[in-house]
Amino acid sequence: MGPGQMGQRSGAPHDTGRYVAQATGRMRASLPPAPLGAELVGWDARLYPGLRVTNVPAQTRAGLAQALGEMGVEAEFFLLAVESFPTQRRYTHAQGEAFLRQLEASGQRIAHAAATLEVATQSYLTAMVAAYPDLRTVGEADDVWWPPFAGYELTSEPLEARFRRCGFAYRHAQTVYLSTHVEAIAEQLALTLYALSSLPPAGVAPMRALYQGLYELSSALQGDVVAHHITGVSARYPGLLASVARLRSLDAQEDTSLESDLAWAHAQYAQARNAYANLGGASANVHDTRAWAAQTAQEWRQVVGFLDYLRVNAPAGSGRR
């Protein structure tokens, strides 16, 4: 997330009932409509009919349906938790801490669900190939079963802004790449729900589309989302779990005052503005660089404006004292 883009469940495994009903209702309302002619039912009701491929053993089908269902529930929870943070309009540091615990627990559950899904998907695809040998030639050129996905954007304020309102430093939340990971995870989880919500009964879509779609969902979740955005331990670009730990450490050890954030944002804005002013020339490359520098300076100006607004308008008792 760029600098100027300004909008509780415990860690226990899978609840059902009221929470799932609420999350499912909100997420279904936000997803694009199902393809024309498809029955308008929830993604969870599509799993067993969509995977009922002849000659794939029933136990294998059931295992994949269960794994996809687990991932779907985790996707709904993650998206709802991120969109609804903080859950009350009175921002407190305790709410920020609670949300960090939610992210941590959700990331761990998603990593477990993705590993389970990878195993179940491989078993299912192996059974498909054994029954239909021509599927051995399926590759990236083959279509998936779902229509083009328009993407997913969070409708709430950026995480940096929401953490700042809760008393965390804006610069700390940005330094640890927390919003970058949350947005990447949310994008893939929203795509997963979109794909499951448009899964047709087996035999309606080409077998190759089912094969390629299942492969893409599983590999993206396990190979990218989990490996890079949740459990990654790179010192330069740590994953979500490491980012949460790093944010806690910075919050405990460094200055988190609004004044320190304002001084930092003013310095970033001045640096971006000077970079723009020092660019010259009329070549296409220079023109593109100047446009980027101007956009960067504008984004930092917006961050300064946001922090100034908080300084003037933050209600007494908000954030951390």
Q: Given this model, what pLDDT does residue 64 score?
A: 98
Which alpha helices (DSSP H) does the chain contain, by range? Answer: 18-30, 43-51, 58-84, 93-131, 159-165, 170-175, 178-197, 207-220, 240-253, 258-277, 284-313
Indicate the pTM of the whole model: 0.83
Predicted local distance difference test score (pLDDT) of residue 286: 55
**What does the pLDDT look like over 15-30, one tens digit per residue?**
323 333 444 444 444 4
Show the low-confidence residues of the chain (pLDDT under 70). 1-41, 280-288, 315-321
CB contact set of 238 (below 8 Å; sequence gap of 6+)? 176, 177, 232, 246
Diameter over CA atoms, the chain: 68
Domain regions of the chain by residue span = 18-252, 257-313
Instruction: List pLDDT tens digits, range 132-174.
Output: 999 999 998 899 999 999 999 888 889 999 999 999 999 999 9
